[in-house]
Amino acid sequence: MTVPSAAAGNVPALSIVDLTKRYSNGVEALKGVSLTVAPGDFFALLGPNGAGKSTLIGIISSLVNKTSGQVQVFGVDLSARRDAAMRLIGLVPQEINFNLFEKPFDILVNYAGFYGIPRRQAVPLAEDELKRAQLWDKAFLMSRTLSGGMKRRLMIARAMMTRPRLLILDEPTAGVDIEIRRGMWKTLKDINIAGTTIILTTHYLEEAESLCRNLAIINHGRIVQQGPMRTLLAQLDVEGFLFDIEGELPAQLPVIEGATLAAADPHTLDLDMPRAMDLTRVFEALAAAGIRVRSMRTKSNRLEELFVRLTAAPAATPTEVSA
């Protein structure tokens, strides 16, 4: 079998072209997704419930059949060489799927055995992985007795047993408290620094911000945004204010170029504007329209709000942002 001719470092860890998925009940979960993840990257796939994240991950890890499109893992085509592609991937699924009546150590060694790794090799690997996951002291307890966070770490340790080049995690930290989440971030950062490409899905912007270099936002089966994290964050550099107004707002609000103005209620104005914009311009425009501001406050949860707005936008042409 020929290895892709390009230098190994240039072959994307994941290349997806025009992927679609229609489930048998007619749901179009993916409507033409194209995505490239560079080797060594830490990549976030963000999107609301039902966006298509798990479907996408299911297809990459051969659990779900695609309807059309192309998927390559380190240059290995998923349709043509499914087993070879699968050997490159470690998957941490959204739901806990190990046997709760097995011990962590056995779960890891048996998993390795399933992938053809002999026991004498698997045993020291399992010890390494359980130590990295801070689970070595639980190695020989019934895994049913592990906490929710420990169970998730165990799934990461299990996926690492085959030394995958691409580790895919589907909401690894869902429902996990912030302290444990931070611990898992550290584990994932270590794995990434040691050379494994990571893709994770998450609802938490904070998580993507803390871990990932690049991201794609998926909504209703389409990529609505993709590019470097810092470019998105720069774009999120919008400030939101609420103005309490004396009297009632006029029916026609003034237009302020570059800013968005809306009535939150008859006495409250909602303003979004780029951070660099001068507030004086806003006050001048309001005064000219006969609107008198009594007080103003900053809107909280700016990031979440913008994320919601991005994913609420009609899924039109995907925006490719460059570094």
Binding partner of 319, given Mg ion, ligand ATP, none, CB within 5-8 angstroms per partner class:
none
Which one among 5, 25, 295, 298 touches ligand ATP, defined by CB under 6 A? Answer: 25
Assigned token pair, 285: 């425009």
Binding site for Mg ion (CB under 5 A): 53-54, 94
Q: What is the DSSP string of 206-243?
A: HHHHHH-SEEEEEETTEEEEEEEHHHHHHHT-EEEEEE
Minimum Å gap between C-beta 186 and ligand ATP is 24
Binding partner of 290, given Mg ion, ligand ATP, none, CB within 5-8 angstroms per partner class:
none
Which one among 3, 6, 18, 23 touches ligand ATP, defined by CB under 6 A? Answer: 23
Closer to ligand ATP at the Cβ: 96 or 277?
96
Minimum Å gap between C-beta 50 and ligand ATP is 4
Q: Interface residues for ligand ATP in 78-137 (CB under 6 A)?
A: 94
Pairing of strands 42-46, 197-202: parallel
Q: Look at the block and give the residue holding tokens 């709760």.
A: 100
Please tell me the total number of residues recorded for the chain in this structure: 323
The angle at the Cα of 216, spanning 31 to 223, to the nearest 5 degrees, equals 20
Minimum Å gap between C-beta 284 and ligand ATP is 44
3-state helix, strand, coil in the chain (%, to 5): 35, 30, 40
Asked if residue 205 lies in contact with residue 46, where contact means CB atoms within 8 angstroms, the answer is yes
Closer to Mg ion at the Cβ: 64 or 117?
64
Asked if residue 181 lies in contact with residue 190, where contact means CB atoms within 8 angstroms, the answer is no
Beta bridge partners of 124: none
Closer to ligand ATP at the Cβ: 52 or 104?
52
- Chain centroid, CA 169 distance in Å: 9
How many residues bind ligand ATP, per CB under 6 A? Answer: 13
Binding partner of 50, given ligand ATP, Mg ion, none, CB within 5-8 angstroms per partner class:
ligand ATP
Assigned token pair, 53: 């994240």
Minimum Å gap between C-beta 172 and Mg ion is 12
Minimum Å gap between C-beta 8 and ligand ATP is 31
Q: How many angstroms separate the Cα of 14 from the Cα of each of 66, 222, 267?
A: 15, 17, 51
Minimum Å gap between C-beta 27 and ligand ATP is 4
H or E segment to which residue 199 belongs: strand 197-202
- Separation CA 168–CA 289 (nearest Å): 53
- Separation CA 276–CA 198 (nearest Å): 34
Closer to ligand ATP at the Cβ: 132 or 220?
220
Stretch that binds ligand ATP, among 19-27, 101-109, 280-288, 303-311 (CB under 6 A): 19-27
Closer to ligand ATP at the Cβ: 32 or 254?
32
- Separation CA 17–CA 36 (nearest Å): 9
Q: Interface residues for ligand ATP in 43-82 (CB under 6 A)?
A: 47, 49-55
Closer to Mg ion at the Cβ: 57 or 157?
57
Q: Is 193 in the site for ligand ATP (CB under 6 A)?
A: no
Name the site residues for ligand ATP (rule: CB under 6 A): 23, 25, 27, 29, 47, 49-55, 94
